[in-house]
Structure 1
Amino acid sequence: MTQKSVLVLVGSLRAASTNRQLAEAAIDLAPEGIDLAISDQHRDLPLYNEDIDVEGELPASVVAFREAVGAADAVLVVTPEHNGTMPANLKNAIDWSSRPFGTGAIVGKPVAVIGTAFGQYGGVWAQDEARKALGIAGAKVVEPTLSVPNSVVRFAETHPKDDAEIVAQLEEFINAFAASLDAVDAEQQAA
């Protein structure tokens, strides 16, 4: 496997969110050849508005975010569930990265979605909505997933990196994600 840079977008904006902690644990567990790095650039994006999505007049935050997504080999989205769906900031990031239509930074980019949530299903609705939006935006959504339920209780006093069960699940996810990236590379080389 060649070195892969993976941009990690955390849907929760709280500094100590359990999803940020899950992302940090994934970074710690990444195998050689996978470089995961959390980006907070989506926090500064204005709400998507076609009136301001004008080449040469784009807000600096949009230009920087699109460049970061474009430069990454893949994207990992780590999302909580807000009212049964993904947080607005994450949807906004997907919208900005999908433009210009058909050539946006996310188009053709391998993306995986994982997360943790307070509920008993671990935020699967939010993850499904994120995958749907990403796929429509043109991303190459890959299969490996991970949903961790009961986050507020489970991680009340334990960081995910100190939870043996979560570490095992994250390692399994990251290895499957790495294999998916290799498969995408093989598809692209064969095309």
Structure 2
Amino acid sequence: MTQFQIAVIVGSLRRDSINRKLASALAKIAPSEFFFKQLEIGDLPLYNQDDDPNPPAPAKRLKGEIMAASGLLFVTPEYNRSIPGVLKNAIDHASRPWVQNAWAGKPAGVLGASDGANGTALAQQHLRNILAHVDAPTLCQPEAFIQIEDGFFDEAGNISSERTREFLKAWMDRYIAWVKLHAAPF
């Protein structure tokens, strides 16, 4: 069976992050030929162009994991109406130097969760703009702005609401088709 490895980038470092929980729940509703690996971005130093000739070890690891993946899944909160700094830092590390841009050509999906009614709409729009610049073809529709309320996840980390599960399954189906259209399996 053909396997697709998906690099999951969660834009939150918080241990109990709702976006990390959402990323894990999404992986459970994907087809079995898709393998989701959450990448570590919290150990990256701040990006410094002076380091381009000899990047720090965490940046080399991140780029290698991205390059080995068939696709990308970004699950991000919204901080001050944009993406978290740690996520932007990871994007900068993996895109530089430009001739070694690890994001180029990798099909991407973007979604996020918040306890607010607007979900993560502005963060997702900013992230889509950045991903366009780094040449990561990004699924545009359907958009998924998830509002997390008490009881959203059950004790096993699954999505409690059948209606929400159905919506996210439809989103996942579109994402899977997007990755298959744009990526080679590993």
TM-score by shorter chain over 0.5: yes
Q: Aligned pair 1:82/2:76, yes or no?
A: no
**4+ runs of 1 displaced by more than 4 Å?**
none
* Inter-partner Cα distance in structure 2 for 1:108 and 1:27: 22
SS at match of 2:159: helix
Q: Aligned pair 1:170/2:164, yes or no?
A: no
Distance 1:134 1:96, change over 3 A: same
Counterpart of 1:143 (choices 140, 149, 157) is 140
Alignment of 1:153-168 (within 5 A): 154=149, 156-159=150-153, 161-168=159-166
Q: CA deviation at 1:143?
A: 2.4
Paired position in structure 2 for 1:30: 30
Once the two structures are superposed, residues 106-152 of structure 1 have per-residue CA deviations (whole angstroms, 9 ceiling, x without a partner) of 11111110011122121110011111111111211122431112x2x
Higher mean alpha-carbon deviation, 83-92 vs 160-169, is at 160-169
Paired position in structure 1 for 2:20: 20
SS at match of 1:141: coil
Q: CA deviation at 1:47?
A: 1.1
* Inter-partner Cα distance in structure 1 for 2:181 and 2:7: 19
Give the structure with the higher percent helix.
Answer: 1
Q: CA deviation at 1:11?
A: 0.6
Q: Return 5+ residue gaps in structure 2 as ranges.
A: none
Alignment of 1:73-152 (within 5 A): 73-144=70-141, 145-149=143-147, 151=148
Q: Return 5+ residue gaps in structure 1 as ranges.
A: 187-191
Q: CA deviation at 1:102?
A: 4.0
Alignment check: 8 A CA contact 2:107 2:183 kept: no
TM-score (norm. length: structure 2): 0.90
Paired position in structure 2 for 1:6: 6
Once the two structures are superposed, residues 58-85 of structure 1 have per-residue CA deviations (whole angstroms, 9 ceiling, x without a partner) of 2111110110111111110000100100
TM-score (norm. length: structure 1): 0.87
Once the two structures are superposed, residues 15-51 of structure 1 have per-residue CA deviations (whole angstroms, 9 ceiling, x without a partner) of 1111111101101111122111212x21111111101
